[in-house]
Amino acid sequence: MSLLKAGNRALEIRIAESAPRCLRRFVARLADTELPTIPTGQVMQVRGGHQTRLTVDVDRGEVLLELATDLAGDPAALEIGVLQAAARSVAVMKDVELALLHGSAVTADGGRSAIAVLDGGRGQGKTSLALGVAARGGSLLVDEFAFTVFPGGQPCVVPMPTLPWHVRADMAPLLAPHATERLLYPVDLPAPTTDGNRPLPLNLIVIPDHGLAPGELREAPALAARDLLRAAVNDHEAKLRDPTLDHVSIFSSADDVTISSSLPAFNSGEKALDALAAVPVIRVGIGNPDDLPASVTAVIRRIRGAS
């Protein structure tokens, strides 16, 4: 048994012995701890089946991920699919304030606060930019699945040091020099992972924008920021409902996912958008991998100028 923890939630992951060995190793590594028995109230079972499908029972806190025995694809794609199912299932369980944002996060201010690089619906570059900023003095918090809590209305990013970072071959070698694998853990990357699991206050949100020149910065007023942030706030919920929206998915259609009972508005609420839009939001131009240093330098200058 393994536990995937996010804030005050934990998902027990039970994986069948018949599952591929690479997947069993992956689940053991992404979990925060392995214990013989511990009641969590939320359980995800991964087992074989006639087809690949996901069933999420919100009321009972149960998730069933069935993997077809003839499921094609490389091990990384399978691992990403299982991670997506687990993380999104954690986000919809119970009624605790916990938003799952689409983006990466790193530390700032010597580890006292967080910077999130979120999807603004304007192109890729989140992971590369976050790695670049962390390499200039920060630490890695989380990639892709930026769990955020709101104590007293203040957005705080939950560190997820056991989750891997999804790297691509076109990322700058300086940022991911060992990127022969598609999934790398924080300990495998140049920037160190953070110490501890305490949520860090979110002090800056960066949105990569391919519509701007590399390194160009644009501050987003609060109203514009709300619109920009909708993509990051709603993305994981949309992809839970319709996995064909994912670039990498183990499902073939929306019919492969069943969500029993009513799905809580865990991300789409205006309250989360209000809290996030109150944080300074900037757009930064990002181009090809060769242009990344200019984008990173611009963000670092903005951070230092605001401190």
Locate the domains of the chain by residue range.
Answer: 2-96+235-260, 99-233+269-306
E strand spans, 123-256? 140-142, 145-149, 156-157, 165-166, 183-184, 200-209, 217-220
Q: Is 20 helix (H, G, I), strand (E, B) or coil?
A: coil
Q: How far apart are CA 270 and CA 84, in angstroms?
A: 24
In the numeric block, the tokens 């809580």 are attached to 264
CATH classification (class only), 99-233+269-306: alpha beta
pTM > 0.85: yes
* Span 269-296, pLDDT tens digits: 678 899 999 999 999 999 888 899 999 9
Contacts of 35 by beta carbon, 8 Å cutoff, 6+ apart: 1, 3
Q: How far apart are CA 180 and CA 165, in angstroms?
A: 13
Half-sphere exposure of 21 (CA within 13 A, CB side): 0
Contacts of 105 by beta carbon, 8 Å cutoff, 6+ apart: 114, 115, 116, 117, 130, 141, 142, 146, 157, 202
Task: Give every residue of the chain whose pLDDT is below 50, as ranges.
Answer: 34-37, 266-268
Specify the pLDDT at position 267. 44
Specify the pLDDT at position 269. 63
Specify the pLDDT at position 32. 64
Q: 10 Å Cβ neighbour count for 187? A: 9
Q: How far apart are CA 48 and CA 73, in angstroms?
A: 15
